A and B are shown apart, each in its own frame.
Chain A
Amino acid sequence: MLRTKNLLELFDLLLKSDYASELSRVSTKELDAYQLERTFYQKLSERFTFLFEVTSGRVRESLEEYFKQIEIENVKRIIRAIHGKEGLGQDQLVPIPRRFQTVNSSALLETHTMRQMVDLLRETPYGRLRNTVDMYEQTGNPTLFEAQLDNIFYSGFWETLERVSGNSKVKKLVGTEADLKNLFYVLSLKFTNTEPEITRKSLVNIHYRLSKTLTQQLIDSPMETAPRLFTGPPYADLAKEAGELLEKKSPVEAEIAFSRFLYSYAETSSLRNPNDLVYVFAYLQLCFKEAKNLTTLALGKQLGLEEERIQSLLFL
């Protein structure tokens, strides 16, 4: 796929893959990376829903809770559009089967203010967003809602996971994911000179191996010294690498370093535990990785990026 000359060649290769049935509906005349990206995420959504069909009880509940991150991504997109006073279409959201939606996305798309949107979400799992409206109105910063949504996702999922037997390895995987998210936010918000108060509010409330105290110290220390606060594994090397990349003004590479860490951890978990529940969650993580990699390939080809450059942006 990397060696293909253009998007059309990549499309031909994808027609021989798992994506064939969805992509065969795409006309080559109207082919663009955006359409492909939508198809990749539609497939991801289908992979989740397939698992719902073959599982039951608490495992299914936890999978449904994990699936909410896709719906949350849609809510975030609607929030951004409302903040920018722009319209958004249903086609700009990740397709989710109706029976797995907990929000009425069509009604949300019709709202014009944050208060209207939050009112519509009152009886949904995202009702807690109303606590953020006042602060949003004071600061005019919509990322506060995004942070609150991340918190709702992780706390909801963590709660569901507690009720599932044999959850320790899944907790380890999702806990690592939450830690990485927090570490990434602390370093990247430092990079964007965000006020420490906003950074604190942007963090996920799950602290697995990245303690709350260390996170606070990271927030309060300058960018240059922050990675030195780590004394050992598992995040010391990653924090050092990301810190250096951000200092070198290479944020794309820093983001990729975080994603690579997470996906390699998921891959190891799936290989080591083929008969454990964690295998399912690791598989879903790797499905995300596949969707992101394919999107990178499609966009890279469409934008005419060099093969080496695209390769550097992939999570291989």
Chain B
Amino acid sequence: MAFVGRTTATRGALIRLRDTLEFIKNGKDILKMKRDRLAGELNAHLTELSRRAKLEERQLDLYDEFKAAVTANGYATVSSTALSMSKLNVDILPTSIMGVVVPKIVVREKPEIKSIRDPSLYAVAEKLRDSIDELLAVAQIEVTIERIAYELMMINRKVNALEKVIIPAYMDQIRYIEDSLFDEDLEEFARIKHFRDVAGREST
């Protein structure tokens, strides 16, 4: 009852409570629709996430290749070569999916590798640079899934709270007021009937 608060059993309060209940039910339906839509989005992204396993496999192969290149060229040469490369430049644009803000990563500039003279380092750097798009795409999918899943959890909690606690509480309160008003009406009817009987007897 704490959600509904203390109300006097009046017709005005009953109308107000019925309106509020209607509004809450509509809200619950909208939340359910949002949940269904987000679940659809989540499913779509989950199928895309299957790319991760292949990507991980490729990255591990690439890492082995990189280790061999570092071992053959020496750490000092590799770190010095890495210094000559330009940085990865990305923009992170916030986009909204049914009110859930997810990042969209746009690559502005990829590292420039023409400063690498050594072919083994060039080959690894080229492959690593080419894998950036795939890595960022998978990272974007993961963040999107994480945020949608969190939002779904929150929506489920809200829908459950509405269905199991708030709506029943309002309905109980409405029923209580309806019962109270019915009792009052019945009492009023009995009183009027009694007065009418008394008045009829006096006139005869």
Whether B80 contacts A80 by the Cβ 8 Å rule is yes
Q: Looking across the interface, which residue of chain B has its beta carbon closest to that of A79?
A: B84
Are the CB atoms of A92 and B71 closer together than 8 Å?
no
B186 within 8 A of A: no
The winner among B67, B68, B72, B122 for most chain A CB atoms within 10 A is B72
Asked whether any CB of chain B lies closer than 8 Å to the CB of A246, the reply is yes
**A303 in the interface (beta carbon within 8 A):** yes
Residue of A nearest to B113 (CB): A192
Confirm or deny: A146 has a beta carbon within 8 angstroms of a beta carbon on chain B.
yes
Interface size class of B (residues with CB under 8 A): 20 to 34
Residues of B within 8 A of A38 (CB): 76
A residues 244-290 near B (Cβ < 8 Å) are 246, 249, 251-252, 254-256
B119 touches A246 (CB 8 A): yes
B115 touches A83 (CB 8 A): yes
A81 vs B79: C-alpha distance when bound (angstroms): 10
List residues of chain A with CB within 8 A of the CB of B82.
Answer: 84
B interface, over-half SS = helix
Inter-subunit contact A146/B117 (CB<8 Å): yes
When each residue 91-119 of chain B gets 1 if its CB lies under 8 Å from chain A and 0 otherwise, what string results?
00000000000000000000010111111
Contacting residue for A191 out of B75, B81, B119, CB 8 A: B119
Set of chain B residues within 8 Å of A175, measured between Cβ atoms: none
- Would you call A192 and B119 a contact (CB within 8 A)? yes
Q: Which residues of A contact B68 (CB under 8 A)?
A: 252, 305, 309, 313
**Which residues on A are within 8 Å of B, measured CB to CB?**
33-34, 37-38, 41, 76-77, 79-81, 83-84, 86, 88, 92, 94, 140-143, 146, 185, 188, 191-192, 194, 202, 246, 249, 251-252, 254-256, 292, 295-296, 299-300, 303-305, 309-310, 313
